[in-house]
Amino acid sequence: MYRVLLYLILASASFLTSCEKKTNELEANEYLIFGDYYGFCAGKCTNIYKLLKDGLLMDTIRYYPPIHEFYNGSYISMPEKAYKQTRNLIDYFPTTLLNEKQIIGIPDAYDQGGYYVEYNAGGVKKSWFIDKDIQNVPQQYHKFVNTINEKIINLK
């Protein structure tokens, strides 16, 4: 009798925890926009991408991200290979970023450029402008920022 009860409790606990959503897993209609931008440049001054649950999109407008509104790009689908190269970026997203101010460091203050990140998941929608100079970024975000940089380089 006790074995059956113990088994039912363990099975129920296992079932409940297996149904929980992972913190950094995108669902339908959720996304992570990431990219870099430069204020004074010639040619391609922005590289903005939108990571979805099942694909990667590239912005074709390529305008400087606005500071007081979300990025409103015009996106086209990228090949499956590009999605496979970037789909794990959400795993690096530090949830502590959700508590940060919108500007981290001094992005593009001296023509070093910046990263734009927009998170729309779990009912939360926020954006950040992050310095490309890693020395101006808190240590806890280095892995995420370096991974963004790596993904952008691989997509070019």
**Model pLDDT for residues 86-120, shown as the tens digit of each residue:** 999 999 999 999 999 999 999 999 989 999 999 99
Residue 124 lies in a domain: yes
Domains identified in the chain, total number: 1
Q: In this predicted model, what pLDDT tens digit does every residue of 9-38 receive, in sequence order?
A: 344 444 333 333 345 689 999 999 999 999
16 located within any domain? no
In a domain, 125, yes or no: yes
Structure tokens at 145: 């920022």
Classify residue 138 by burial, with Cβ atoms within 10 Å: 0-12, 13-18, 19+: middle
The residue among 131, 14, 156 whose CA lies nearest residue 144 is: 131
pTM of the model: 0.83
Phi, psi of 125 (to 5 degrees): -130, 115
Domain, as residue range, for 55: 25-155
Rounded (10°) CA dihedral 35, 123, 16, 86 = -10
Q: Is residue 12 part of a domain?
A: no
Q: How confident is the model at residue 43 (pLDDT cuts 50, 70, 90)?
A: low
CATH value at residue 121: 3.30.1560
